[in-house]
Amino acid sequence: MTQQRCASYYTASIVQESDYPRLEGEHRVDVAIVGGGFTGVATAVELAERGYRVAIVEANRIGWGASGRNGGQVTGSLSGQDAMTRQMRHTLGDDAEAFVWNLRWRGHRIIKQRVEKYAIPCDLKHGHLQAAYKPSHIKALRQDFEASQRHAIGEHVHWLDAKAVRDVVGTELYHGAIRNDYNMHLHPLNLCLGEARAATSLGALIFEHSPVVDIEHGDTPVVVGEHGRVTADSVILAGNAYHRLERKQLKGKLFPASLGIVTTAPLSPEQVQSIDPEDLAVYDTRFVLDYYRLTADKRLLFGGGANYSGRDSQDIASELRPRLEHTFPQLKGVAIDFQWQGMAGIVINRIPQLGKLSDNVYYAQGYSGHGIATSHIVGEIMANAVSGTLEEFDAFANVRHIRIPLDDRLGNALLAAGMWYYQLLEKLK
């Protein structure tokens, strides 16, 4: 059974809604992609630009899941960066550190070029702060800043002390920050929908309201829907936290976490000036952090916390209002017009999971809350893999991931306990 979009600020401000047909009958393509979020759509654009005949099969609508529900921040953050570098030395040797560093910024280039090339209206803006929530967080943040100065990205990155932070964000919470004017923020649902239009302009097929019930493996694998089938040379599973296909091989590797967001009523010019006069996106340095930015019509979009139980929270606004008002006391009592949540795919070691289920059936998942930029990088890597260039794909596929031999409910309970432990350690620092 398909579902309608959640009632969010993003769905209320769609520039052009999708309206693709249901999968019916038999179709033959080069590559079939299951999942119409950023991973699936970004991969489809990459492949279609190279002349491949591509089909996307989406259970609901393009951008229905986390791709259309997230905070809209495009940053150079990679969860599990240090672990990723260590693991990838097995495949890339001494090149692993440079490879991982460049991964942090590669998605920005892809997104910016695509928005310009296909004239995608998604409110793209530059400017971001990563803010130190506690004095003890300054050391690690300074180290990341100093690392940035040894690379080309350094010209876009500046260190702000506590006073300088207060000049650009109207809160007393932070003790310093990295300002990165290469990082971006945008309307993610409009980006995803715009990229889908780009893919179809290049000949890709898109099917919505078409749940996939099975994958038939073989020389020409088949994506089996409720009312139709797509036969392909290769299949890519790109459903992240929302799909339940191929559980025999994928179960216990990724766990959903519910991330909540609220959006206020439009703010007055005085309120905007008091909280975010330079229109920067912000997140802090906690293990479970808060993040926020202004929308194009000057609402505050604020997200924070995470529910690792795998179940939705009951009242996002009541959970997030105290955090919002703690950050910005001058907004106490502000009206909240929208509240919603989406499921991120959390990986224990925080390294995205790319691999094969058989010779020509691939999967990509698990961005652990950093999906906009990372999914676009993965789209390029998956397109390369299907095209026969496997070095980057293999660097991810060879990573050793922890697999929890429990059902999803118990696995999420174990994950929640682990998150609680790390949050407790952080409070003690």
pLDDT in tens, 284-338: 999 889 999 999 999 999 998 766 555 667 789 999 999 999 999 999 999 999 9
CB proximity list for 158: less than 8 A, separation 6 or greater: 178, 179, 181
Q: Give the separation between CA 293 and CA 72, rounded to whole angstroms.
A: 8
Predicted pLDDT at 124: 98
Query: Taking residues 233-257, what's their average pLDDT?
Result: 84
In the chain, where the domains are located = 1-124+187-252+351-398, 125-185+255-346+403-428
Domain 125-185+255-346+403-428 in the same topology as domain 1-124+187-252+351-398: no
Predicted pLDDT at 422: 47
CATH H superfamily, domain 125-185+255-346+403-428:
D-Amino Acid Oxidase, subunit A, domain 2 (3.30.9.10)
Strand 255-264 with 281-284, pairing:
unpaired
pLDDT band at 257 (very low <50, low <70, confident <90, very high): confident
196 neighbors 56 (Cβ within 8 angstroms): yes
Strand 205-207 with 255-264, pairing:
unpaired
What does pTM read for this prediction? 0.93
Instruction: Indicate the residue type of 379.
Output: G
Say which residue the tokens 């094969």 belong to.
356
Strand 25-28 with 228-231, pairing:
parallel
Strand 205-207 with 176-185, pairing:
unpaired
Query: 130, 72, 79, 78: which is closest to 285 by C-alpha?
Result: 130
Q: Give the separation between CA 45 and CA 31, rounded to whole angstroms.
A: 12
177 neighbors 129 (Cβ within 8 angstroms): yes
CATH class of 1-124+187-252+351-398: alpha beta
Q: What pLDDT, in 10s, does the model give residues 9-51?
A: 999 999 999 999 999 999 999 999 999 999 999 999 999 999 9
Angle at CA 273, nearest 5°, toward 272 and 277? 95
Mean pLDDT of the chain: 91
- The yes-or-no verdict on residue 8 having pLDDT over 90 is yes
Q: Which two tokens stand for residue 57?
A: 């099969």
